[in-house]
Amino acid sequence: MPSFDIVSEVNWQEVDNAVNQAQKEVLGRYDFKGSKSEMEWDKKVITLLGDDEYKMNAMKDILQSKMHRRGIDINSLKFSDPEPAGGRMIRQKVEILQGIDKETSKEITQFIKDSKLKVQAQIMDDKVRVTSKSIDELQSTMTAIRAHHFKVPLQFNNMRS
């Protein structure tokens, strides 16, 4: 029976490349000369440390543009609220979202059921598997899901016929 999986994944190598490019740009920019602003990445969370609100917003824009250029969806970045970091510095953490949470999985399955297509959707950990007798129905489901905006970026993989 034909099926495919709906997942939300990021390419970690591209994230690493984007963060490295953003760090280099922050170090080389004229408006950051003499500041203590920096960007750190520990493989799960990116930490932005800035002198003031202007530099924090500039680093955020640099990071988002580098991520976008490397093909990473901006919706997979979750920015926390800026917090004081001592010494008149501001810290902001950026979490990289991976996988589909339970609420979004339920929303996706409900959307598929409401679309009246002849497919079945089931939640499997952090992905949603969609099965049908017809590949055309599966492709129609993919088109409908792409047209609808969910909270997380979605990809389709593991297409089997």
CB 4 within 8 A of CB 120: no
CA gap 96, 94 in Å, rounded = 7
pLDDT at 63: 95
Domain final residue, candidates 70, 96, 122 = 96
Q: How many domains does the chain have?
A: 2
What domain range includes position 140? Answer: 3-8+100-160
Query: 28 with 69, same domain?
Result: yes
Position 136 pLDDT exceeds 80: yes
90 and 104 together in one domain: no
Q: Which residues contact 40 (CB under 8 A, 6 or more apart)?
A: 46, 47, 49
In this predicted structure, the answer to whether residue 62 has a pLDDT above a threshold of 90 is yes
Percent of the chain whose predicted confidence (pLDDT) is above 90: 60
Confidence of residue 122 (pLDDT cuts 50, 70, 90): very high
Instruction: Report the alpha-carbon distance of residue 83 to residue 133 in Å, rounded.
Output: 52
How far apart, in whole angstroms, are the C-alpha atoms of residue 138 and residue 160? 10
pLDDT > 90? residue 64: yes
> Same domain, yes or no, for 84 and 105?
no
Residue 161 confidence (pLDDT) above 80: no
CATH number, domain at 105?
3.30.70.860
Same domain, 90 and 73: yes
The residues with which 46 forms a beta bridge, in sequence order, are 41, 94
94 and 82 Cβ atoms separated by less than 8 Å? no
